[in-house]
Amino acid sequence: MKALVTGAAGFIGSHCAERLREMDFDVVGIDNFSPYYSPDLKDRNAKYLEEAGIPVKIVDLREPKDFRILDTDFDYIFHFAAQPGIASSSSFEDYLLNNLVATKNLIDFALTCKNLKLFTNISTSSIYGLHATLTEDEAPEPASFYGVTKLAAEQLVLSKTREKKMKTCSLRLFSVYGPRERPEKLYTKLIGCGFFHQEFPLFEGSEDHVRSFTFVEDIIDGVVSVIGKEETINGEVVNLGTEQEHTTGEGIAIVEKLLDTKIRKTSVPKRGGDQMFTKANIDKARRLLNYNPSTTLEEGLKQQIEWYRKEFVM
């Protein structure tokens, strides 16, 4: 079996590529190595994949000509590549091109893969809006360019099931953390500030935000569980996350406890579109995918701290 993983040099994509290789898949990773965050971190991720026998090719999904270097014999496509988050440095055009146009081009490529069993789109709880507590059957209310363009991309993918052109599904991920988390994300930035005794910029009011912080390996359990369930999952949207709830303040306290240090914080203005409350409703994931995330926030943060220590401290 052969799988294509987009965004393979990124945080979650790299974990998925590794898991598929462990499952004896022939895996090809692609990434455009965007400078959105540290190219060094992406290079490290790509190196680990190469060492595991997973080639990572430079492909920009916005450029149809880049697909020419790829074979068309893939059984599965896992689409992680995206313009992430709600960074003020990203324009609407960045989100439009990287999330919607890129997905359209990937769909066009997927339609040339005659053996394709399933196209799995990786989506986000940001689709639900400021209070992400809804089921998959309730109307989304995205409140950011990120959420709006990811919803549009999701519908573009699912339209191919409706047209009976290929089997598709979309997985909405909730607040993923763990080793290789992007450097601007909460826990990687927080851990770095703890190790190097720097001030942590805390968005105003965010200590009280509630999150379904979900460990990356629990997320990957859900992602790969679609394999072999093509008929069951075809055309479906499924939430993946944990039902455990923690405030950002509680997460900060756990990191301080594990590092045995008090991290200095400085208040910065709140971000527009930032979610106030997320709680993953995973009844559907349990029913269709037998999904059961089990890693506690403290257990997961221990692993993320050890990764950070080995990569950036030792």
In angstroms, the CA 193 to CA 200 distance is 6
Of 146, 177, 291, 308, which residue is the catalytic one? 146
Closest CA to 239 of 275, 274, 214, 206: 214
User: Which phi and psi angles does 56 have, rounded to 5°?
Assistant: -120, 115
Active site residue 37: no
Which DSSP helix (H) or strand (E) runs through 173?
Answer: strand 168-173
Closest Cα to residue 223, out of 108, 78, 39, 102? 78
Q: Please say whether the beta carbons of 77 and 8 come within 8 A.
A: no
**Nearest residue to 48 (alpha-carbon basis) of 200, 179, 182:** 179
The torsion angles phi and psi of 229, rounded to 5 degrees, stand at -115, 35
Structure tokens that stand for 21 in this block: 């290789």
Element (H, E) at 265: strand 265-268
Q: Tally helices (H) and strands (E) across the chain.
A: 11, 15
Q: Is residue 280 within 8 Å of residue 212, measured between CB atoms?
A: yes
Catalytic residues: 146
